[in-house]
């Protein structure tokens, strides 16, 4: 065990190294580039026995690691922003063919205008691809979750690819101490790779032919849907196993911070959950407001049972989204509203759209929104408006 | 309520300083000496920031806009008669 | 200064001067001193010479916040000409510190304490030059350690770990020099 000061990107590269990936392919894009640069350095120095496939685009990067993974190799790629958009088609191919594969996404605003700062639109755009989608809060979680993601995706109950998202700069380029367990520890945790089939020479097999029977095709879709459901238990079990090994556990799909006695709740994904924790502590100590925080770790599969369980006695909920579906609302909000409604909960839920395009958000901004909004609920039983664009931060 | 709809568009007009006050990047400063200048215009042609202006005055053939000159030194490099010196900024 | 819990530091330099590296080394040193640290850059134009900003937070407990630092306790200025070009003092707390690379007492005044050191000269003396520029970031780290009562031993170790080899030793020596030569005035 060794604690190293690492950026989120280096933590991601270390995870790929410790997972002993055999094939890496990626195309440079800010803020992802230093992940693959670090991996190239590991390989160059003989610290990682892997091949880097040089490609001319992100679409090809995922296609290359997809081929390697289908051929039986543990493979890894990383991208973000427009790179992820360009890759998007291949995400469907990987998930649809049920090939386990792990990717880190350094989330960055989509243009125009050109912008390198964090925003969750690129990650949220992968919602329906069938990939497991996880959002990290800090660099340790980036490392831990990538390692766990290999195990979860290679579980026969799942056999789906997975993404770990990390925010541009505020994680990707932020240095902080990260514990990197020794290779033997990770080796004892990660079994040899398993996958539903291996494409190799001499083994006549085609994947993805035009279906004769559309019913079977639809069943494939349903099977992905069910695999996502099954992944929930696997994610929780793997989290517990990791805890026994490293002393670190994250609560599986979701963590509820200071929720035991909470009246009002806030929810979010990604790095700014750290600022939300600070806001919750201060709202409690300085304003006497019993606020709880739902840190949603996995967006896919979506932790609907857990959210509804925590909210069963809640007076209100504010969902913070760092991306939006124009013409509707924030993606996290939409899922939360759908599933709490299906669970029969009737509480006021508000969507705060903040920090889009990388606009800086402080814990004071979060406190201010919560104070104002919860004040409305205490006064009238509901929010004055249900979708609010919040610009509190400075650029 | 007004019917006027105003779009917020990601547009900018090409102009000097469109990417900010690049003059703050300068660590070395190009200084022009008229007496050595042979009016070849190479500096004007090569300056990547287009901050060299041909003024063709008695006292100066060119001027340099230091608000946006980033101090790259290309003008000094291409000048055939070394009529542009590079000096450390602030001296 | 470190006793108050969270210390927020903003570095001002130019692209190529090593402000981001200085902030990173501080995280390494903090961890060695039993503290938690985070460091992150604020990139504008990623160009040599362009003014750049980097941030560091040092705390007794894990740092959770990720937002920019609006009200720093300390500003560290790697280039003496920067205060004339950008408002390096923005948001600086009245009881804060300015640590600046300057051969003489700078002429700006404020409620904060000003600590100055000729980091350029120290860097040149130790042969720390890259592409013609003195690498002032480690000398200024030593000065910063003095200004905020940060244990110098861990700064030296941090530099050697982060940079390594002969260069690491030279940089560590430059930091020691910065520590001993810095002058702080009210
Ligand atoms: S130094 Fe560079 S930017 Fe400045 S005038 Fe010369 S060529 Fe143009
Ligand atoms: S390149 Fe030199 S000689 Fe030619 S116009 Fe410019 S300053 Fe004059």
CATH number for the domain that contains residue B26: 3.30.70.20
A140/A8 Cα distance (integer angstroms): 8
At which of A194, A211, A246 does a domain end? A246
Note whether A306 and A234 are same-domain residues.
Answer: no
Question: Quick check: helix, strand or coil at residue A77?
Answer: strand
| Predicted confidence (pLDDT) per residue in B43-69, tens digit | 999 999 889 999 999 999 999 999 999
> By residue range, what is the domain housing residue B82?
22-88
Minimum-distance ligand to the CA of B56? 2
Which CATH number belongs to the domain containing residue A357 in this structure? Answer: 3.40.50.920
CA distance C119 to C106: 14
Q: Which of C22, C46, C67, C71 to mutate to test the interface with A (most CBs of A within 10 A)?
A: C67
Asked if residue B12 belongs to a domain, the reply is no
CB half-sphere exposure, C10, CA atoms < 13 A: 22
Question: Measured between alpha carbons, how far is B46 from B44 in angstroms, rounded to an integer?
Answer: 6
Instruction: Note the pLDDT of residue A394.
Output: 42
- Strands in C74-77's sheet, in edge-to-edge order, are C36-42, C51-59, C7-14, C74-77, C97-101, C113-117, C183-185
* One domain, residues A235 and A181: yes
Closest alpha carbon to A240 in A189, A184, A299, A182: A189
The stretch B28-32 carries a mean pLDDT of: 94
The answer to whether residue A169 neighbours chain C at the CB level (below 8 Å) is yes
Banded model confidence at residue C49, pLDDT cuts 50, 70, 90: confident
Residue B46 lies inside a defined structural domain of this protein: yes
Domain end: A225, A246, A267, which one?
A246
CB of A340 closer than 8 Å to CB of A302: no
The pTM of the full predicted model, rounded to 2 decimals, is: 0.91
pLDDT in tens, chain A (395 residues): 689 999 999 999 999 999 999 999 999 999 999 999 999 999 999 999 999 999 999 999 999 999 999 999 999 999 999 999 999 999 999 999 999 999 999 999 999 999 999 999 999 999 999 999 999 999 999 999 999 999 999 999 999 999 999 999 999 999 999 999 999 999 999 999 999 999 998 988 889 989 999 999 999 999 999 999 999 999 999 999 999 999 999 999 999 999 999 999 999 999 999 999 999 999 999 999 999 999 999 999 999 999 999 999 999 999 999 999 999 999 999 999 999 999 999 999 999 999 999 999 999 999 999 999 999 999 999 999 999 999 985 43
Report the candidate in A108, A143, A151 with the shortest Cα–Cα distance to residue A12: A143
Q: What is the pLDDT of residues A111-125, one digit of tens each?
A: 999 999 999 999 999
Q: Are residues A115 and A150 in the same domain?
A: yes
Look at chain A and count its residues: 395
Distances (CA, A) of C17 to B73, C84, C117: 19, 18, 16
Would you say residue B69 lies in a domain?
yes
For ligand 1, pick from B20, B49, B82, B84 the residue to mutate: most ligand atoms within 8 Å of CB.
Answer: B49
Predicted pLDDT of residue B1? 53
User: Do A275 and A304 contact (CB within 8 A), yes or no?
Assistant: no
Number of structural domains in chain B? 1
Q: Where are the beta strands (DSSP E) in chain A?
A: 2-6, 23-25, 51-53, 75-79, 102-107, 132-135, 162-167, 176-180, 254-257, 264-268, 291-296, 298-300, 316-321, 349-354, 387-390
Q: Do C20 and C55 contact (CB within 8 A), yes or no?
A: no
Q: How close is the Cα of B25 to the center of ligand 1, in Å?
A: 11
Quote the DSSP letter at residue A175. B
Whether the bond between A197 and the residue before it is cis, its omega within 30 degrees of 0, is no
Residue pLDDT, tens place only, C10-41: 999 988 788 999 999 999 999 999 999 999 98
Q: Is residue A395 part of a domain?
A: no
With 0-12 / 13-18 / 19 or more C-beta atoms within 10 angstroms meaning exposed / middle / buried, residue A133 is: buried
> A267 is in which domain, residue-wise?
254-390
* Whether A229 and A261 share a structural domain: no
Tell me whether residues A278 and C63 touch, CB distance under 8 A: no
- Chain C CB contacts of A138 under 8 Å are 64
Instruction: Write the CB contacts of B74 (distance below 8 Å, at least 6 apart in sequence).
Output: B43, B46, B47, B48
Does residue C45 surpass a pLDDT of 60?
Answer: no
Ligand 2 centroid–CA B77 distance in Å is 10
Q: Inter-chain contact A177–C65, Cβ cutoff 8 Å?
A: no
Task: List chains touching A (3+ CB pairs under 8 A).
Answer: B, C
| Bridge partners, residue A52, by sequence | A24
Domains and CATH numbers, chain C: 2-103+110-185 (3.40.920.10)
- C22: which strand partners? none
Boundary (domain end) residue, out of A246, A274, A295 = A246
C-beta B79 within 6 A of ligand 1: no
Task: Find the helix packing angle between C19-32 and C137-148, rounded to 10°.
Answer: 50
Alpha helices in chain C (DSSP H): 19-32, 82-85, 119-125, 137-148, 152-163, 165-181
Task: Give the distance (Å) from ligand 1 centre to CA of residue B85.
Answer: 11
For A149, A219, A321, C9, C111, the CA distances from C73, given in Å and listed in that order, are 40, 60, 31, 6, 12
Q: What integer is the mean pLDDT of C173-185? A: 97
**Residues on A contacting B at a C-beta cutoff of 8 Å:** 111-113
Q: Which residues of B touch C52 (CB under 8 A)?
A: none
* A219 and A261 together in one domain: no
For A58, list phi and psi in degrees, rounded to 5: -70, -35
Give Dmax (Cα) for chain A: 72
Helix residue spans in A125-272 (DSSP H)? 139-153, 183-189, 214-246
Q: Does B51 contact ligand 1 (Cβ within 6 A)?
A: yes
In a domain, B26, yes or no: yes
Which tokens hold the place of A83? 């790179």
Residue B30 CA to ligand 2 center (angstroms) comes to 12
Out of C27, C37, C66, name the one closest to residue A271 (CB): C66
Residue B62 CB–ligand 1 contact under 6 Å = no
List chain B residues with CB under 8 Å of A111: 10
B1 lies in some domain: no
Model confidence at B2: pLDDT above 70: no
d(CA B75, CA B82): 9
Q: Are residues A72 and A207 in the same domain?
A: yes
pLDDT of C118 over the 50 cut: yes
Q: Are A361 and A272 in contact (CB under 8 A)?
A: yes
| Residue whose structure tokens are 């990770």 | A186
Higher pLDDT, C131 or A283: A283
Domain match, A128 and A183 both: yes
Looking at the structure of chain A, the number of domains it has is 2
B17 in a domain, yes or no? no
Residue A232: per-residue pLDDT = 98
pLDDT at A395: 34
Please give the structure tokens belonging to residue A60. Answer: 């090809």
Q: C 78-107 residues with CB below 8 A of B?
A: 81, 85-86
A49 lies in the same domain as A130 = yes
Q: Which chains touch B (3 or more CB pairs under 8 A)?
A: A, C
Strand pairing class (A176-180; A298-300)? unpaired
CATH number of residue A114's parent domain: 3.40.50.970
Element (DSSP H or E) covering residue A269: none
Confidence of residue B37 (pLDDT cuts 50, 70, 90): very high
Q: Which of B19, B20, B71 sits opposite C49 (nearest CB)?
A: B71
Question: B10 to chain A: which residues are within 8 Å by CB?
Answer: 111-113
Residues A11 and A40 in one domain: yes
**Interstrand relation of C51-59 and C36-42 (parallel, antiparallel or unpaired):** antiparallel
Give the model's pLDDT for residue C51: 84
Asked if the Cβ–Cβ distance from C45 to B90 is below 8 Å, we say no
C43 Cα distance to chain centroid:
17
Q: Report which secondary-structure segment, H or E, holds C1.
A: none
- Chain B residue with CA closest to A112: the answer is B10
Task: Say what the pLDDT of residue B28 is.
Answer: 87
Identify the pLDDT of residue B20: 73
Cα–Cα distance measured from residue C158 to residue C172, given in angstroms and rounded to the nearest whole number: 9
């Amino acid at each position: 065990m060794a604690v190293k000061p690492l950026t989120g990107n280096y933590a991601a590269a270390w995870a790929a190294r410790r997972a002993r990936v055999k094939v890496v392919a990626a195309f440079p894009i800010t803020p992802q580039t230093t992940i693959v640069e670090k991996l190239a350095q590991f390989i160059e120095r003989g610290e990682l026995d892997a091949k880097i496939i040089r490609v001319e685009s992100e679409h090809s990067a995922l296609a290359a690691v997809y081929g390697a993974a289908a051929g039986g190799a543990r493979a890894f790629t990383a991208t973000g922003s427009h790179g992820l958009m360009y890759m998007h088609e291949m995400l469907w191919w990987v998930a649809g063919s049920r090939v386990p594969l792990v990717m880190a996404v350094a989330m960055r605003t989509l243009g125009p205008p050109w912008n390198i700062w964090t925003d969750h639109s690129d990650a949220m755009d992968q919602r329906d691809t069938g990939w497991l989608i996880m959002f990290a809060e800090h660099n340790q979680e980036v490392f831990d979750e990538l390692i766990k993601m290999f195990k979860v995706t290679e579980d026969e109950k799942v056999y789906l690819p997975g993404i770990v998202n990390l925010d541009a700069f505020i994680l990707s380029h932020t240095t902080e101490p990260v514990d990197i367990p020794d290779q033997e520890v990770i080796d004892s945790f990660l079994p040899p790779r398993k996958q539903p089939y291996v494409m190799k020479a001499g083994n006549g097999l085609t994947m993805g032919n035009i279906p004769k029977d559309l019913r079977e095709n639809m069943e494939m879709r349903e099977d992905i849907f069910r695999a996502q459901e099954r992944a929930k238990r696997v994610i929780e079990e793997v989290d517990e196993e990791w805890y026994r090994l490293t002393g670190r556990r994250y609560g599986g799909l979701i963590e509820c911070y200071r929720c035991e006695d909470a009246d009002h709740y806030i929810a979010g994904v990604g790095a700014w959950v750290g600022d939300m924790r600070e806001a919750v502590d201060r709202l409690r100590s300085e304003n006497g407001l019993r606020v709880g925080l739902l840190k949603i770790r996995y967006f896919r599969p979506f932790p609907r049972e857990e959210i509804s369980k925590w909210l069963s006695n809640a007076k209100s909920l504010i969902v913070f989204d760092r991306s939006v579906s124009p013409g509707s609302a924030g993606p996290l909000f939409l899922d939360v509203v759908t599933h709490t409604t299906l669970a029969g909960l009737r509480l006021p839920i508000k969507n705060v759209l903040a920090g889009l395009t990388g606009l800086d958000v402080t814990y004071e901004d979060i406190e201010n929104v919560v104070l104002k909004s919860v004040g409305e609920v205490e006064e009238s039983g509901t929010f004055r408006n249900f979708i609010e664009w919040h610009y509190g931060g400075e650029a | 309520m007004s019917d006027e709809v105003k779009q917020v568009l990601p547009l900018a007009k090409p102009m000097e300083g469109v990417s900010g006050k690049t003059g703050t990047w300068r660590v070395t400063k190009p200084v022009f000496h008229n007496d050595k200048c042979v009016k070849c215009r190479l500096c004007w042609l090569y300056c990547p920031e287009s901050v060299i202006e041909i003024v063709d005055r008695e006292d100066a053939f060119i001027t340099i806009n230091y608000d946006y000159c980033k101090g790259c030194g290309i003008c000094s490099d291409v000048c055939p008669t070394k009529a542009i010196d590079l000096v450390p900024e602030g001296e | 200064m470190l006793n108050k819990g969270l210390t927020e530091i903003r570095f001002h330099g130019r692209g190529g001067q090593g402000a981001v590296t200085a902030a990173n080394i501080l995280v390494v040193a903090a961890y060695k001193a039993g503290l938690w640290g985070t460091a992150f850059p604020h990139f504008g134009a990623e160009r040599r010479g362009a003014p750049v900003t980097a941030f560091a937070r040092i705390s007794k407990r894990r740092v959770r916040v990720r937002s920019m630092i609006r009200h720093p306790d300390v500003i560290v200025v790697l280039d003496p000409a920067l205060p004339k070009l950008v408002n390096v003092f923005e948001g600086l707390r009245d009881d804060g510190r300015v640590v600046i690379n300057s051969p003489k007492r700078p002429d700006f005044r404020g409620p904060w304490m000003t600590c100055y050191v000729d980091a350029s000269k120290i860097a040149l003396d130790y042969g720390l030059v890259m592409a013609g520029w003195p690498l002032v970031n480690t000398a200024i780290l030593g000065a910063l350690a003095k200004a905020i009562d940060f244990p110098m031993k861990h700064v030296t170790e941090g530099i050697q770990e982060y940079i390594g080899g002969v260069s690491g030793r030279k940089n560590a020596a430059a930091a020691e020099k910065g520590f001993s030569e810095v002058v702080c005035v009210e």
